[in-house]
Amino acid sequence: MADNADKYWMGFDLGGTKMLATLFDCDFNPVQSRRKKTKGHEGADAGMSRIADTIEKVLDDAGVKHEQLAGIGVGCPGPLDLDAGVIIEAPNLGWKNAEIRKTLEARFGCSVIISNDVDAGVYGEYRFGAARKSRCVVGVFPGTGVGGGCVYEGKILRGKNSSCMEIGHISVMPDGPRCSCGQHGCLESVSSRLAISAAAAQAAYRSQAPNLMEAAGTNLSDIRSGVLADAIDAGDTVIEKIVRQAAHHIGVAVGSVIHLLGPDTVVLGGGLVEAMEELILKEVRQTAVDFVLPSYKDTFQIVAAKLGDDSAVIGAAAWTQESIAN
């Protein structure tokens, strides 16, 4: 590799409803960024072409040539083959067997490392955000589902070929509602933003949440995190109870993970936490402390993520640097 000071790292976040590409210098200061909406069911080939074109545009805007790229890191949703650099399936995108690494390496001539998008976000918080200098970090990101990730002694915890830490599918209510995975009572089925919004819509329909009804009605796509927070601030106490119950379930799941991994830091992130940080953190903290063995009660901290939407993109880039170096 040439002088590292002349090299750049590209981070790409493919999770959620938008794709974000950010170019970083050798010290991981952002140089140039570009954001585009993802297109559901456009096909893997068309989608990967859009990823490559977006990266190309960022490089052009920054005046950086292909040979100046040290590596590209991509945070991806769905089941992954990490060693092959393949997205096995991304249902929200309609992709199957998307060869991300092969495609991008052929076009840009540098190493490409893929990771789970939540893993990338947790690694970003470990390197640059709320969990710096932690020995073991667990991240929980409630959104449409509930994503989880872990960084242990500087390495992303993973399975043999794929990512792990599917905390959203820990059972917290064995007889609870059916989850998208087909099981009952998974954390995702009771604590995701989608689950909270569905319960809130029912409350609004029953005239128990007049402020929410006025602001968003019962349409799930309109009941976003900020709308829920505003309804609570306006006096819809039933919405607060719904959010607290969801946070309580997260606390139970966090307590289980604390028993397994003994993390010194648990990071909560995502739009739902950002919108109601004080309420959610307080409930998760109290539940986790009540749940764990006495010897664990003072061994961990639960904090809010600091990097927001940038956590996955900078985490993907930094994890690529770490992976190439080792």
The edge-to-edge listing of strands for the beta sheet with 86-90 is 80-81, 86-90, 95-99
Helices and strands: H and E segment counts in the chain: 11, 13
> Tokens standing for 255?
């307590």
* Residue-level pLDDT at 40: 66
- CA 225: distance to chain centroid? 15
* Residue-level pLDDT at 285: 98
3-state helix, strand, coil in the chain (%, to 5): 45, 25, 30
- CA 2: distance to chain centroid? 33
Confidence bin at 5 (pLDDT 50/70/90): low
> Tokens standing for 284?
């998760």
* Residue-level pLDDT at 1: 37
Enumerate domains of the chain plus CATH numbers.
4-124+310-325 (3.30.420.40), 131-304 (3.30.420.40)
- Rounded to whole angstroms, the Cα distance separating 276 from 233 reads 10
> Tokens standing for 51?
């990823």
Strand intervals (E) in the chain: 8-13, 18-24, 30-37, 69-76, 80-81, 86-90, 95-99, 111-116, 136-142, 146-152, 155-156, 265-268, 301-304
Q: How do 30-37 and 18-24 pair as beta strands? A: antiparallel
- Rounded to whole angstroms, the Cα distance separating 29 from 19 reads 19
* Residue-level pLDDT at 46: 87
| Angle value at C-alpha 280, between 185 and 251, nearest 5 degrees | 45
The pLDDT of residue 3 is above 60: no
Task: Express each pLDDT in 243-284 by its tens digit.
Answer: 999 999 999 999 999 999 999 999 999 999 999 999 999 999
- Rounded to whole angstroms, the Cα distance separating 47 from 151 reads 29
* CB 133, CB 116: distance < 8 Å: no
Task: Express each pLDDT in 107-163 by its tens digit.
Answer: 999 999 999 999 999 999 999 999 999 999 999 999 989 999 999 999 999 998 888
Helices (H), 81-186: 100-108, 117-128
The residue-averaged pLDDT of 37-48 equals 79
- Positive or negative, the CA dihedral 289, 294, 296, 297 is positive
Residue whose token pair is 């490392």: 113
Task: Express each pLDDT in 152-207 by its tens digit.
Answer: 999 999 998 888 999 999 999 989 999 988 999 999 999 999 999 999 999 999 99
| 3-class DSSP assignment, residue 12 | strand
> Tokens standing for 134?
């932690």
Instruction: State which H helix or E strand residue 309 sits in.
Output: none
> Tokens standing for 159?
């399975």
* CB 188, CB 147: distance < 8 Å: no
The pLDDT of residue 2 is above 50: no
Residue 73, strand partner residues:
11, 113
- Rounded to whole angstroms, the Cα distance separating 51 from 64 reads 17
| 3-class DSSP assignment, residue 164 | coil
Residue 136, strand partner residues:
152
Which amino acid is it at 219? Answer: N
